Amino acid sequence: MSAPSTHAGLRPLYGFHAVTARLRHAPSSIRALYVASDRRDGRLRELVARATAARLATHAVDERRLAELAASSRHQGVVALVDAALPHVTLDDLLEGDDAARLLVVLDGVTDPHNLGACLRNADAFGAQAVVVPKDRAVGVNATVAKAASGAADTVPVVTVTNLARALKAMQDAGVWVLGADAGGESLFDADLTGPIAWVLGAEGAGLRRLTREGCDRIVGIPLAGSVESLNVSVATGICLYATQRARAAAAAR
């Protein structure tokens, strides 16, 4: 199922969290808002009231039309058509200036949109400034990612780079410690996580590619007490970012 071709320059955004976040942060980017004609619950009324406050009209349509607009049946009864072009952020923008609190996430070979969405949620929750992904062999931001991110796709930029190895070198040249999250390195419990950091994570099972691993300053592993050999990349991202913020808070309190 694909979205209608009549909405050039727009992309669908669906699900209550994603649409509500867009209404909160960038209502002017919404060009049309569609809601389920058979819903009358408080959650939908609240969303419509927020749209009305933003002077945005809502259109009540049936389930079939919503699924067509969203190109998905998991729309939760709300679909917004938004500007396809978000503010463009480059790697140079991210590395500008001297920021001791810089915190970036780099994803190597993550192709699952749900994983990218969950990583964006973690980045938003734990203060990472951006998620960096390679142009090839990686998923970009689409409607599925936006829904899984529950609004974080509008607050955390996804920066696409042509060459990941060069991007890591640029981070190092800017004074950022590039830490690869992978087995065989020092324990996360013992690692120095203060200062500007870019966490580099690979897909579950595959891990970091060889060249990516070699481009990291240090390899840091998450100690696992059970029988599993690896964690989902979004889970690992959350653990690494939480550990970083905890270490920074402890250092600031000294």
Over the stretch 196-221, which tens digit does the pLDDT of each residue have?
999 999 987 778 999 999 999 999 99
Q: What pTM was estimated for this model as a whole? A: 0.69
- CA dist., res. 142 & res. 145, Å (int): 5
243 or 89, which is more confident = 243
Asked if 172 and 65 sit in the same domain, the reply is no
- Burial per residue of 76-113, b for 16 or more beta-carbon CB atoms within 10 angstroms, e otherwise: bbbbbbbeeeeeeeebeebbeeeeeebbbbbbbbbebb
Query: Considering the chain, what is the average pLDDT of its residues?
Result: 86
Please count the CA atoms within 13 angstroms of the CA of 53 that sit on its side-chain side: 9
Q: How many domains does the chain have?
A: 2
pLDDT value of residue 230: 75
Encode pLDDT of 88-121 as tens digits. 678 888 888 777 789 999 999 888 888 888 999 9
Question: Residue 87 above 60 pLDDT?
Answer: no
Question: Residue 13 above 50 pLDDT?
Answer: yes
Let me know if residue 146 belongs to a domain: yes
User: The domain spanning residue 127 has which CATH number?
Assistant: 3.40.1280.10
How many other C-beta atoms can be found within 10 angstroms of the C-beta atom of residue 214?
Answer: 12
Print the domain residue range for 67: 10-83
Mean pLDDT of 54-63: 92
pLDDT value of residue 1: 35
Asked if 106 and 191 sit in the same domain, the reply is yes
Asked if 75 and 118 sit in the same domain, the reply is no
pLDDT value of residue 58: 93
